[in-house]
């Protein structure tokens, strides 16, 4: 059951650039979120980064699972191969990179407390949402759902990397997501979805916009959770 | 990727009564939540009930969809028929009953504001979680996921109905969920899952306990959302 | 990976009547198949009908599961309710009716041999195909997949019922599928899909035509299997 | 709805070697099938190999999609990575290798006739079955379903490669599946599933045996189809 989450007066977005524009100031809120800003000026407590990376290592396998569903729903060999490549990137590159960052922060700040290892509210919400889109959507719905995370991370990191304070762990985060390799992954995702969007009917593009908007909201919640260290009220 | 969300020292629950016991004071927190208490003493603002029912009418179709997936994953004809019956109950009884309650509260408090019609954070989290369990779990995982909502509603309502203040809309909510018909639906669900649990291996029962726990947490979040009227920060 | 299974020169079908026309003489081959003809003139050996009904009772639960997936994939409440109704019809009406027919033929011809209870080649092919369409398709793909069976049965039975020879079991088959109640179920399915087809893009209608064609081929294989009594070569 | 397809008197298989033994002479029938034998003695008409490879190129993407679903259903990071590796192997190695073989045979025997490009009966049955197991099963069901194809191909090729007649296309087929690289892929699949089987409850192992048996039957049908050149009766 779809719900209007934005005034459907304008035409539905027909490019990924229009998708981004459609969420208004929410995109800017991601770029300026205090969590990554705290990585750049090294003001973020290590305990919060450790919590964030711990939760991210619960998040990424489900992100990978969504990409696997995208491969399984592909209607042709090109899309099958694109989703396979994206899946490999998460499993073979991003998850190991997060594991290295976790090892780094654990060395500095000690082991992960049991409470931080519980799948937290924003993690449950975001991973469940990815998997539910994967379950009931088509390959284009999945493309809209994976984009907020992948795309915003690159833009956030590139916007912060230049003036960043050197830090034994945080610098690696910024360098990874500001890299040309990472930008190339995002460019591939965007170009592929730009091609699809051009041919999608109005209703499908409107649904893509709604999915993209919800994805941005869940991105923000996930940053908020890392920044505040919040979890379930029965564990607080 | 499963995460221990409760100390796995004790044996995994083998009955639905043990499932309930395994979440500790969280179950009691559902029974004593101020939202349904505010229905019983008629202190809850109508605007909050209208918001809650509006969100519940976004929730219930996804709850029905999870039951439909349960039917589709059934390994035999008995389970197929049980999930079909449960699906029919949501589609033909609970959704219409909520639509009548919404009509009742709209008559008293005016139309639903646009902001309330947006699928709100706890609604996205809970519905997505139900659908993600349905997508990746088996019929027993689904049975564990549907139980916190169905079961707690009956217990909440029966605990409140006797001393409740008469109210043009709230009394109907209490009467519906305190009814013998509703109790019979829950008894069927519990008896069916009790039969399954008895034969499930330890690991599957532990997973059921984890799912049940997360379901109770999401129930609480959903009540909290209705009670506070909160939504996404970009809409606030 | 879609495959052109019919020359894509003509416009894709935009109504269910055009879908039927698009499969050409194959539809007529269903209507004139010797298996149902053998029910009408009572020439079909009871052993073959027993085999057919036994396999049909393996088929119908998977047909129901496909309808359950349709409910789970529904994009709005109307479609959710339509698939729920169709599911209930299979579970509560068609499966019991087949069980009664099986009991009837067993009384006349003896118990089902073990070999007949093995899910046979055309049964595996057809049920797997229904479930695979359900898994990877959307609600409209499912609508196209369920139609050949539902629709052709009504037309077959209505074409044969009038001159049929009285038979203790076969007459019931003809009466059931020639009934007005059954025709009403099919009319609902067709009208619902006619509404969807009218608004579907060309590519989706072409896919629907391909699905409908494969469904008709699998229908024919299923009749052939019942008529010949064939099964796996390692069981023959 | 599961069906006993083998007498459930013996204990359910607990290793992949026991799985293979459980299908009895059917496994030997795969190893001795005249289609691969005709590759080894170069007696198979090129038109039949062209048809087989054309159908195989419709089969392999769905095999890959099943592996993608396996990745999406994985319960931990190890299984996620194993299915990702297996998926990459099909998409990046086996599909390109089949495309090269098709190009080779087309050079010798001319372009693929339109009739051969239609997804044929045994192809529909086998691919649909893989996807239906993927849709409704868990990761272990998928492991049982993918094994007959992967495993038997290696054994078939190794049994034939030594005395094989040199052939511009067929020799490549034998060399590919008889290679150590291919054997290593199968060994990984078997060792992984051996680990799982050891801990699976009786009912799950029995279901695995049933899935493995059906997979072997569908393998045989697929070879039969290639050998006979058969397709749908409305195309014949």
A84-115: per-residue pLDDT in tens?
999 999 999 999 999 999 999 999 999 999 99
What DSSP string describes D111-169?
SPPHHHHS--HHHHHHHHHHHHHHHHS-HHHHHHHHHHHHHHHHHHHHHHSTTPPP-TT
Q: Which of B72, B75, B80 sits opposite D2 (nearest CB)?
A: B75
Position B102 in a domain = yes
Predicted confidence (pLDDT) per residue in C117-158, tens digit = 999 999 999 999 999 999 988 889 999 999 999 999 999 999
Band of pLDDT at residue C201, cut at 50, 70 and 90: confident
Of A150, A136, A165, A128, which is closest to residue A212 (Cα–Cα)? A150
Position D233 in a domain = no
Position A53 in a domain = yes
Q: What is the least distance, in Å, from the CA of D68 to any CA of chain B? A: 13
High-pLDDT (> 90) share of chain C, % = 91
What domain range includes position D116? 26-228
Q: Above 60 in pLDDT, residue B9?
A: no
Q: Which of B25, B135, B221 sits opposite A132 (nearest CB)?
A: B135
Q: Which of C64, C65, C72 sits opposite B65 (nearest CB)?
A: C72
Please state the rounded mean pLDDT for residues B15-33. Answer: 97
Position D183 in a domain = yes
The CATH number of residue B156's host domain is: 1.20.910.10
Q: What is the least distance, in Å, from the CA of D9 to any CA of chain A? A: 37
Cα–Cα distance measured from residue B100 to residue A137, given in angstroms and rounded to the nearest whole number:
30
pTM of the model as a whole: 0.93
Identify the burial level of B191 via C-beta atoms within 10 angstroms of its C-beta, where 0-12 means exposed, 13-18 middle and 19 or more buried. exposed
Predicted confidence (pLDDT) per residue in D134-185, tens digit = 998 888 999 999 999 999 999 999 999 999 999 999 999 999 999 999 999 9
CB–CB contact D77 B1 (8 Å): yes
Asked whether the beta carbons of C89 and C138 are under 8 A apart, the reply is: no
Domain count, chain C: 1
Number of CB pairs, chain B paired with chain D, less than 8 A apart: 18
Residues of C in contact with B88 (CB under 8 A): 84, 88
Cα–Cα distance measured from residue A219 to residue A26, given in angstroms and rounded to the nearest whole number:
10
pLDDT at D165: 97
Predicted confidence (pLDDT) per residue in C17-67, tens digit = 999 999 999 999 999 999 999 999 999 999 999 999 999 999 999 999 999
Q: Which of B1, B3, B217 sits opposite A232 (nearest CB)?
A: B217
pLDDT at A166: 97
High-pLDDT (> 70) share of chain D, % = 96
pLDDT at D138: 86
Position A217 in a domain = yes
- The answer for A 185-224 residues in CB contact with C (under 8 A) is 201
Asked whether the beta carbons of A145 and A137 are under 8 A apart, the reply is: yes
Q: Above 90 in pLDDT, residue A186?
A: yes
CA atoms within 13 A on the CB side of D173: 32
Cα–Cα distance measured from residue B149 to residue B128, given in angstroms and rounded to the nearest whole number:
15
CB–CB contact A124 B125 (8 Å): yes
Q: Which of A73, A74, A88 sits opposite D84 (nearest CB)?
A: A88
Position C14 in a domain = no
What backbone phi and psi angles, to 5 degrees, belong to C201?
Answer: -65, 160
DSSP H helical ranges for chain C: 16-22, 25-31, 34-40, 46-73, 77-89, 95-109, 114-117, 121-136, 139-160, 170-178, 180-199, 202-228
Position C16 in a domain = no
Band of pLDDT at residue D191, cut at 50, 70 and 90: very high
CB–CB contact D72 B201 (8 Å): no
- The answer for B 120-139 residues in CB contact with D (under 8 A) is 136, 138
Q: How far is CA D154 from CA A150, B1, D161, D186, in A?
A: 40, 33, 10, 8
Retrieve residue D214's tokens.
């059906």
pLDDT at D10: 74
Angle at C172 between CA C170 and CA C175, to 5 degrees: 115
CB–CB contact A73 C136 (8 Å): yes
Of B219, B220, B209, which is closest to residue B20 (Cα–Cα)? B209
Cα–Cα distance measured from residue C39 to residue C132, given in angstroms and rounded to the nearest whole number:
31
Residues of C in contact with B65 (CB under 8 A): 71-74, 80
Of C209, C214, C203, which is closest to residue C17 (Cα–Cα)? C209
Predicted confidence (pLDDT) per residue in D192-226, tens digit = 999 999 988 898 999 999 999 999 999 999 999 99
Helix (H) or strand (E) holding A170: helix A170-178
Best residue in A1, A74, A197 to probe C by mutation, most C CBs within 10 Å?
A1
Position C79 in a domain = yes
Cα–Cα distance measured from residue A202 to residue A13, given in angstroms and rounded to the nearest whole number:
9
């Amino acid at each position: 059951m779809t719900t209007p989450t934005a005034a459907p007066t304008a035409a539905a977005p027909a490019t990924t650039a229009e998708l981004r524009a459609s969420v208004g100031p929410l995109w800017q809120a991601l770029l300026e979120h205090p969590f990554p800003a705290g990585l750049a000026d090294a003001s973020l407590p290590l305990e919060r980064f450790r919590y964030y990376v711990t939760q991210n290592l619960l998040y990424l396998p489900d992100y990978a699972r969504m990409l696997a569903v995208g491969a399984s729903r592909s209607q042709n060999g090109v899309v099958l191969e694109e989703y396979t490549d994206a899946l490999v990137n998460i499993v073979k590159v991003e998850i190991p990179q997060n594991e290295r960052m976790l090892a780094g922060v654990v060395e500095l700040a000690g082991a992960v407390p049991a409470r931080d290892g519980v799948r937290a509210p924003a993690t449950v919400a975001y991973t469940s949402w990815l998997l539910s889109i994967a379950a009931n959507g088509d390959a284009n719905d999945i493309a809209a759902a994976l984009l907020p995370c992948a795309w915003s991370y690159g833009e956030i990191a590139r916007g912060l990397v230049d003036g960043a304070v050197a830090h034994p762990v945080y610098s690696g985060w910024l360098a990874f997501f500001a890299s040309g390799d990472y930008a190339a992954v995002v460019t591939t995702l965007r170009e592929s979805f730009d091609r699809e969007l051009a041919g999608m009917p109005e209703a499908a593009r409107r649904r893509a916009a709604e999915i993209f908007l919800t994805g941005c909201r869940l991105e923000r919640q996930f940053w908020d959770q890392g920044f505040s260290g919040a979890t379930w009220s029965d564990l607080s």
